[in-house]
Amino acid sequence: MVTRKDLIDKYLEFFKSKGHKVIPSASLIPSNDPTVLFTTAGMHPLVPYLLGQKHPLGKRLVNVQKCIRTTDIDEVGDETHHTFFEMLGNWSLGDYWKEDAIKYSYEFLTKTLQILPGKISVTCFKGDKNAQQDTESEKVWKLLKIKNIKFLGKEDNWWGPAGETGPCGPDTEMFVNGLEIWNDVFMQYNKTAEGKFIPLQQKNVDTGMGVERTLAILNNLDDNYLTDAWKPIINEIEEISGEKYKDNKKIMRIIADHLKASVFIIGDGVLPSNTGQGYVLRKLIRRAIYYGKEI
């Protein structure tokens, strides 16, 4: 079994060997990005640096960032959606660009994680009125002998800004046996309040690899709750609830998900309230209570 710790250690070590400095996970409450309530991806703490400010640790960074996303809250309870999750990311702040980013991703997937190249397929941005087709990424993938390359539009191959405005750009996504494993975002635009895409003063790379999902893929599991990121909790729940777990699996997973997210939000200093983050926290706890009453 590849554990959460194995994956995180391998990722950080790999990017350290490529000159990256490890930065700690930032708080779930963004201090550098007023456009969002929660840290939903690794980029929030880095927004000023993506916009051109110098980062004290340099131009190559790597992190594992805790995230909260509530947009898919109705899917939580299935095998793959969570309100709290962790994301691995490597960052180039105006340093390396598409070729190195894609080569690092390929090397980590095929050499460090030993995924067979034949299982990998990718997508690239097909272009629109704001940005051209990403044939640069396509070229690199072809060089690496990836055969299955598709071009898709903004809904699929564009990331950001996380809120209304800020850094964003085309991305290239990697899939293993058809399941998305990693996203390399090429942040080269700043979206303005008027909806314009202005080139940033530097070209950045922002990659995101979800820990829970990647663990499922690496362990050939089709259920994130069976990976080491969740299994110890699920084992406890099964032990306490016995036969009841089978009949109420989905509900119990929703409750576990919401409590995990709540604990981490409270850990970052938020209390239930009527507004902002406190309101989301209150909703999560209320949902957990509501589902608890269902059992």
In the complex, which residues of this chain contact ligand SER (CB under 6 A)?
41-43, 89, 159, 183, 185, 206-208
Q: List strand residue ranges (DSSP E) for 55-196, in order.
A: 60-68, 84-93, 120-125, 149-152, 158-159, 166-176, 179-191
State in angstroms the smallest separation of the CB of 199 from ligand SER: 19
Of 77 and 208, the one with the shorter C-beta distance to ligand SER is: 208
Of 159 and 225, the one with the shorter C-beta distance to ligand SER is: 159
State in angstroms the smallest separation of the CB of 57 from ligand SER: 18
State in angstroms the smallest separation of the CB of 166 from ligand SER: 11
Of 86 and 138, the one with the shorter C-beta distance to ligand SER is: 86
State in angstroms the smallest separation of the CB of 240 from ligand SER: 34
State in angstroms the smallest separation of the CB of 89 from ligand SER: 5
Of 98 and 287, the one with the shorter C-beta distance to ligand SER is: 98
Q: Which residue is nearest to ligand SER (CB)?
A: 208
From CA 135, how far away is CA 125, in angstroms rounded? 8
Which helix (H) or strand (E) is 207 found in, with range?
strand 197-210
| Helix, strand or coil, per DSSP, at residue 66 | strand
From CA 208, how far away is CA 124, in angstroms rounded? 15
What does residue 84 show for φ and ψ, rounded to 5 degrees? Answer: -110, 130
Half-sphere exposure of 188 (CA within 13 A, CB side): 13
Which helix (H) or strand (E) is 87 found in, with range?
strand 84-93
Of 185 and 216, the one with the shorter C-beta distance to ligand SER is: 185
Q: Please list the residues that pair with 67 across neighbouring strands.
A: 85
Of 21 and 244, the one with the shorter C-beta distance to ligand SER is: 21
From CA 281, how far away is CA 259, in angstroms rounded? 10
State in angstroms the smallest separation of the CB of 177 from ligand SER: 19
From CA 176, how far away is CA 197, in angstroms rounded? 32
Q: Please list the residues that pair with 23 across neighbouring strands.
A: none
State in angstroms the smallest separation of the CB of 145 from ligand SER: 25
Of 83 and 251, the one with the shorter C-beta distance to ligand SER is: 83
From CA 64, how far away is CA 188, in angstroms rounded? 23
> Looking at this protein, which amino acid is placed at residue 105?
S
> What tokens appear for 139 in the block?
């070229």
